[in-house]
Structure 1
Amino acid sequence: MGPHRLRFHLVDSAGSWSARQRQRRAEWLTRTFPDLADMHVVDLGGRLGTWTRASVRPARVHVVNLEAPPAEVPDWAYIDRADACDLPERIARNRYDLVYSNSVLEHVGGHERRLRFADAVHTLAERHWVQTPYRYFPIEPHWIAPGMQFLPVRLRTAVAQRWPLGHKPTRTHDAALHQVLWTELLDRSQMRHYFPDSRLLVERVAGLPKSLIAVRTP
């Protein structure tokens, strides 16, 4: 089996190991917020596909992402092209039932921007679900590379450029460096700092912490 086929089976296919993990996490979300189907949810840094595939879909979803919105958006969703760490007033003044974010916090660009992201989470709603991969899980989740997150930047860049299981193929050193510098996995101390009044849930694989989820359910 070639590396791209292997990644497809591990991460990208609908029946992949990673897809099953996401499904279990979605079920955890609905157990945590049993009224999710009636909520107005803002998804910071997410994509519409998360909710079109969801077994339980909120009544309304507002997706905020730096990417251009898709051509077609269902009537239960609204998509804004904006920076979750620097929300325009038209979004910042809104109030929602729940702030949701999945695997975004590790990509926002450093401590100061993570503080601003957390401030947006706390401002937009009383309830939140903010998930991020755990730094000390032995497999780096974006490249599926053992221990990659513990290497110096120079070596991480070399891995990103050559490792065949990466999430975005990179052919140049600069492109690989860009991906590496925009990926910074977090640990428990950081998550508790950004979300001091939240419960910190731990998603485990084979008994090992794989991701951290800051949850507030007042």
Structure 2
Amino acid sequence: MGLLFKLADNRNPRSLAGWLRRRRSALLRDLLASVPRPARVLDVGGTQAYWEVAEAAGLEGVTVVLLNRAPPVVTRPGFESRGGDARAMPELADQSFDVVFSNSVIEHVGDRDDQRAMASEVRRVGKRYFIQTPNRHFPIEPHFLVPGFQFLPLEVRVQLVMRFSLGWYARTPDRAAAHALATSIELLTGPELAALFPGATIHRERFAGLTKSLIAIGGFA
């Protein structure tokens, strides 16, 4: 588990996750360069720190609006903050953002209906979008860091969560809490992500010949 944690720790620039994030960040910067200025970007579920690590904070003519359930803290120009729900953003007008971005969020919003709701709102609010999510078929589940965890029967997952600290999560001995945690993540396959974003290009982030993450990209020239 220690080795898997080191590989998955995107805070470490020498980790696998850090390497993949740098490649993803370069792709994002290239796409943003094609967007006319001034540009407004809605980051659903994001943080200012993500953009700083991605070397995309403070891009000339770009304002990033961070949307979370609780408005996140912003400390520098070029960022705004607001509260909201990825599945329903009625306060935001159609096509009111030049780009909608999210990183490892859509798998956390709930079941397939919730994911469809988020995808519909992303396409409604944004002229373009860049939506990343881990690939369900990658052999190591990226949150619990257990090989094949996402394919285990629910009761087995609940028992593991109750008995062990796994990945990013501490041991959760309460059964109801363990069940809620085990069912809180709904990973997607490439075809499932494509169905949520009709017409999108599905970019595959690969490692050792395997697809680690998926990105739905739409609206960019």
- Answer yes or no: same fold by TM over 0.5: yes
2:21 is matched with: 22
1:213 is matched with: 215
What is the DSSP-based 3-state SS (H/G/I as helix, E as strand, rest coil) of the residue aligned with 1:185?
A: coil
Normalised to the residue count of structure 2, the TM-score between the two structures is: 0.87
Aligned-CA RMSD value: 2.2
The residue type paired with residue 48 of structure 2 is: L
1:189 is matched with: 191
8 Å Cα contact 2:95-2:127 kept in structure 1: no
The residue type paired with residue 168 of structure 1 is: Y
8 Å Cα contact 1:132-1:212 kept in structure 2: yes
Q: Distance in 1 between matches of 2:160 and 2:98?
A: 41
Q: Distance in 2 between matches of 1:147 and 1:186?
A: 14
Q: Distance in 1 between matches of 2:71 and 2:162?
A: 26
Distance 1:8 1:161, change over 3 A: farther
Q: Distance in 2 between matches of 1:37 and 1:165?
A: 44
Q: Distance in 1 between matches of 2:179 and 2:36?
A: 41
Distance 1:163 1:24, change over 3 A: farther
8 Å Cα contact 1:139-1:148 kept in structure 2: yes
Deviation per CA, 1:74-116: give whole Å up to 9, x if none: 2311111211101142x34571110101111111111111111
Distance 1:92 1:111, change over 3 A: farther
What is the DSSP-based 3-state SS (H/G/I as helix, E as strand, rest coil) of the residue aligned with 2:9?
A: helix
Q: Distance in 2 between matches of 1:4 and 1:176?
A: 22
Q: Distance in 2 between matches of 1:36 and 1:163?
A: 46
Distance 1:4 1:169, change over 3 A: farther
- Unaligned stretches of 5+ in structure 2? none
1:74 is matched with: 76
Percent identity, aligned pairs only?
A: 33
2:55 is matched with: 55
2:32 is matched with: 33
Deviation per CA, 1:178-212: give whole Å up to 9, x if none: 22211011112211111111111111111101111
Q: Distance in 2 between matches of 1:198 and 1:93?
A: 19
Distance 1:135 1:10, change over 3 A: closer
1:45 is matched with: 45
Q: Distance in 2 between matches of 1:179 and 1:8?
A: 22
Q: Within 5 Å, give how 1:117-136 maps onto structure 2.
A: 117-136=118-137
Q: Distance in 1 between matches of 2:70 and 2:169?
A: 16
The residue type paired with residue 69 of structure 1 is: P
